[in-house]
Structure 1
Amino acid sequence: MKIVVVGDVLLDVDLSGDASRLSPDAPVPVVDVAAARRRAGGAGLVARMLHQDVQEGRQGTTVELVTVLSDDDAAAHLRAELTDIPLVTGPSGAPTPVKTRIRAGGHAIVRFDEGCAEAPVPPVTGGMLRAVESADVVLVSDYGRGLAANPELRELLERIAPGIPVVWDPHPAGPAPVRGAAAVTPNLSEALKAAGAGQGSRADTVREAADAAALLERRWHSKAVIVTLGERGALLHRQGEGAELPHLVPAPAIGAADPCGAGDRFCSTLALALGAGAGLEDAVQAAVQRAAEFLSRGGVSALGQEPEPTQLHGPAVDALRVARETREAGGTVVATGGCFDLLHAGHARTLSAARRLGDCLIVCLNSDESVRRLKGSQRPIMGEDDRAELLSALECVDAVFVFGEDTPEEALAALRPDIWVKGGDYSATELPESALLRSWGGQTVTVPYIPARSTTSLAAALAEVG
């Protein structure tokens, strides 16, 4: 499979450090820059993400970037940043846009833009057109610099759209997508502006997104419009009068502060999934999940770094990271454990009580194999992925750590909680993990057990009613 990214490239510059004092000249923070990084932005960032995906195991897939470049110093930096990605380029006729972000303590302080004035529509070369025509998937990453408005390119994209997935990530300063695009992916602000609607209240977000998507799908004649909603996920509207209701894919809860690059991660994953033959709903689900994971790992600032091992089966939150960040903030890490095969009121009360003991609650969950060894071949009733997802959906649960041993000692040794909570009337000899907790200064406690509520009694009752 050949994926061709078509669009405008930018040079992103990140200056990061700490801000612990104010300037004597004005009441503004002084950022002591500790690191400076240049990287490809815009369509260059999208191509970089897809190239990384391919390197991580998409054998037989290639990525090519079709763009226009200037001949200035910023363009030279871009070429150096993209040496491992095949480029097919033409002249841009305008300075290279440079966006410089100043970050302090991981948070954006200010951004400076250079060379971002309105640019003329650039010409396209025969090589650029041939590269697009040979693609199995095309992702148009429009950053409002004119390439997506080129008439020859648009004619070609509209001609090939019926036969291959064309994903269009629009820009407010760019042209409308070509007819027949497989998916157009505006964010909420872009969708409302394109639809001629004003910004509404947060309570109206989903309704406004649905109305805008329906209008834009008819106006743009695309097969689908997907409005990305940030922390709320993404809303999918399909083509046609008989289309189903809008489909909302919620996003996992994460604590990321800087959303930079999330939209690029979303549309690149979407294009890759559609090119591999996934249906629209599955592709959107994968894109939402991948965007959340991208942000939870640090976003663009961590792009290209080796990700930390993820121990969590759940909504893109790493249990080890939750424990570490809670400790670093001076908080108390609480953990509890069990099979949680059928969630019931007794579980809810135990988990709620445990969460009130500290600043985060991590549930150590027995894997399917572990449950079978402990409970017999007929258990678990629900698989570990479903059990982890249900637990993660509870407001009192911050993360889930799935372990495969018969006892949670190895999980506890990795998490090192301050408090280990068990529901029921146990003695110290019945909880060998108590000694383990004491080895790092932790404490094991029990909370009241509700004997009338149990998974075994629920399973028996279900068996009786068939």
Structure 2
Amino acid sequence: MRPLVVLGDALLDVDVDGTSDRLCPDAPVPVVDLVRERRRPGGAGLAALLAARSTSEVVLVTPLGDDPAGRALTGLLEHEVRVVPMPLHGTTVTKKRVRVAGQSLVRLDSGDGRAEFSPLTSGVRAALRSAGAILVADYGRGVTGHPEIRALLAELAGTIPVVWDPHPRGSEPVAGVRLATPNLAEAEQLTETRADAGELAKRVHARWKADAVSVTTGAHGAVLAEGGQCTTFRPPSGVVAKDTCGAGDRFASAVTAALLDGASTADAVAAGVETAARFVATGGAATLSTVDDSPKPEAHHHGTSAFDFAARVRARGGRLVATGGCFDLLHPGHAALLRQARALGDALVVCLNSDASVRGLKGPGRPIVTARDRARLLTELASVDAVVVFDEPDPAAVLDRLRPDVWVKGGDYADTELPESAVVRRHGGEIVLIPTIRGYSTSRLVAAAEGA
């Protein structure tokens, strides 16, 4: 399959988490004691990282600066997305949110970077022409106004699906895009009208020469205007948003991936609504953050020390996260899951199936790597603070002792009632499902090796 290419303006997003229990003596503002800093790609960078949760090969074409923020942004992306840089005039845009108890107090924006309108490199042209589908993630920093980019997109829109996620300060979509995806506020600003989403979708559709327009309405889903008809798509019932940051990027990336797979526009929008709803319900963009705080405590490999470590985290008021699995032949999908899990709290304990437990689940040929070595590999990861090995088929007994605040599993368990759920909830914990990266699994790696 040809890759999904994301084209747009990448930013660096930073969440600074802290605590506050007093006001500043010289002004009625809270004093925030900083606890940790979390970084993640923003803008088109976030869209590309999210697209990698829906398809196996993603390429990001974006202006990048050679400054600390630009280098950090590249480092956050390069393990899951192939980055093709364009020249950036100025410095990398960084958006820093200061948060206390999960609430943002202020956002500090820095950087003035904009896309240079210099001739496209052969690498940029080759990346765009290689695409099976293109997501234009416009964040108003000039990429969509580049004359050569626009000409190339207009040409490609006649042969492959192009999804255009617009921005109020960006350029209008080129003619022939498969779908444009403004949100409700953007549609109102564009049409200078306050109306229901269906009417706005029709008006935007009439203005832009796109095959279809989908107006997203947050918790209410999206309305699709196509072929003179309007269709409303609602998110699954019972899915409650925890952090809506990144919802629009998740919707657009899931829609583009579905179109890449051959879905109709209506089916792609339906898939996008459901995927975005589940994304925000499981923590939103925060789950993609990399924690940058003080050095982690000494990692522990076996039972009692891991439980002692968990007790110390609770004693200092920290938020304990746990996840579990076999982790036989560590691969990028594992690393992404662990990094996202760690971003949900202050420490991460991995509950690791023992060799006997793996054999019972996977068969006599597994595990390939012993529990001792699997634990050592896990504790080498910056995201993992401790590992505990268990012999049972499921980790319920271990979790009864750990009592984590958050229990994380991969999104492939979305329709499964986990046997350990009751234990986690009995201790007041919550269960978070994190989407897995398609194309990675130990079984697939083993099968590929045996067939080689």
Deviations 1:196-235 (A, max 9, x none): 22xx4xxxxxx53222211221221101100000111111
- The answer to whether structure 1 residue 259 and structure 2 residue 244 are counterparts is yes
Paired residues for 1:141-220 under 5 Å = 141-197=137-193, 200=194, 207-220=195-208
Using a 3 Å threshold, how does the CA distance of structure 1 residues 99 and 417 change in structure 2: closer, same or farther? closer
Contact 1:168 1:177 in 2 (8 A): yes
Residue 278 of structure 1 aligns with an amino acid whose one-letter code is A
1: CA distance, partners of 2:9 / 2:106: 23
Using a 3 Å threshold, how does the CA distance of structure 1 residues 91 and 281 change in structure 2: closer, same or farther? same
- Match for residue 112 of structure 1 among 97, 108, 111: 108
Using a 3 Å threshold, how does the CA distance of structure 1 residues 152 and 298 change in structure 2: closer, same or farther? same
- The answer to whether structure 1 residue 78 and structure 2 residue 73 are counterparts is yes
2: CA distance, partners of 1:29 / 1:40: 28
After TM superposition, give the deviation of residue 19 of structure 1 in Å: 2.2
- Match for residue 221 of structure 2 among 225, 233, 236: 233
- The answer to whether structure 1 residue 66 and structure 2 residue 61 are counterparts is yes
Contact 2:10 2:42 in 1 (8 A): yes
Q: How many residues align?
A: 306
Deviations 1:343-378 (A, max 9, x none): xxxxxxxxxxxxxxxxxxxxxxxxxxxxxxxxxxxx
- The answer to whether structure 1 residue 247 and structure 2 residue 217 are counterparts is no
Contact 2:243 2:285 in 1 (8 A): no
After TM superposition, give the deviation of residue 255 of structure 1 in Å: 4.0
Using a 3 Å threshold, how does the CA distance of structure 1 residues 124 and 62 change in structure 2: closer, same or farther? same
After TM superposition, give the deviation of residue 152 of structure 1 in Å: 0.8
- Which ranges in structure 2 are unaligned for 5 or more consecutive residues? 291-320, 325-413, 429-452
Residue 147 of structure 1 aligns with an amino acid whose one-letter code is V
Question: What's 1:37 paired with?
Answer: 38
After TM superposition, give the deviation of residue 88 of structure 1 in Å: 1.1
Using a 3 Å threshold, how does the CA distance of structure 1 residues 179 and 277 change in structure 2: closer, same or farther? same
Residue 69 of structure 1 aligns with an amino acid whose one-letter code is L
Secondary structure at the residue paired with 2:54?
helix
Question: What's 1:341 paired with?
Answer: none
After TM superposition, give the deviation of residue 413 of structure 1 in Å: 6.3
Secondary structure at the residue paired with 1:173?
coil
Contact 1:122 1:146 in 2 (8 A): no
- The answer to whether structure 1 residue 135 and structure 2 residue 123 are counterparts is no
TM-score normalised by structure 1 residue count? 0.61
Using a 3 Å threshold, how does the CA distance of structure 1 residues 307 and 224 change in structure 2: closer, same or farther? farther
Contact 2:6 2:61 in 1 (8 A): yes
Identity %: 43
After TM superposition, give the deviation of residue 294 of structure 1 in Å: 1.1
Secondary structure at the residue paired with 2:235?
coil
2: CA distance, partners of 1:140 / 1:307: 36
Contact 2:92 2:113 in 1 (8 A): no
- Which ranges in structure 1 are unaligned for 5 or more consecutive residues? 55-60, 201-206, 310-399, 419-466
Larger Rg: 1
After TM superposition, give the deviation of residue 94 of structure 1 in Å: 2.2
Residue 68 of structure 2 aligns with an amino acid whose one-letter code is D
Using a 3 Å threshold, how does the CA distance of structure 1 residues 123 and 196 change in structure 2: closer, same or farther? farther
Paired residues for 1:434-449 under 5 Å = none
2: CA distance, partners of 1:258 / 1:123: 39
- The answer to whether structure 1 residue 282 and structure 2 residue 282 are counterparts is no
Using a 3 Å threshold, how does the CA distance of structure 1 residues 76 and 269 change in structure 2: closer, same or farther? same
Secondary structure at the residue paired with 1:265?
helix
TM-score normalised by structure 2 residue count? 0.62
Residue 256 of structure 2 aligns with an amino acid whose one-letter code is A
2: CA distance, partners of 1:14 / 1:139: 26
